[in-house]
Amino acid sequence: MTSKDQKGFFASIASSFSNFGSAVQKSVNG
């Protein structure tokens, strides 16, 4: 795995994680 691929991998993980986090926050806050 090249460092460029690794960067894209971590970027996609981070964005999906933040999307998931905001969705959970919305459901918790009602």
In the numeric block, which tokens belong to residue 13? 């993980």
Please tell me whether residue 10 adopts helix, strand or coil conformation. Answer: helix
pLDDT(30) > 80: no
Q: Which residues contact 9 (CB under 8 A, 6 or more apart)?
A: 1
Higher pLDDT, 3 or 10: 10
Distance between CA atoms of residues 9 and 24, nearest Å: 23
pLDDT class for 2, splitting at 50, 70, 90? confident
pLDDT class for 5, splitting at 50, 70, 90? confident
Percentage of the chain exceeding pLDDT 70: 97
Phi, psi of 2 (to 5 degrees): -80, 160
Higher pLDDT, 4 or 1: 4
Please tell me whether residue 5 adopts helix, strand or coil conformation. Answer: helix
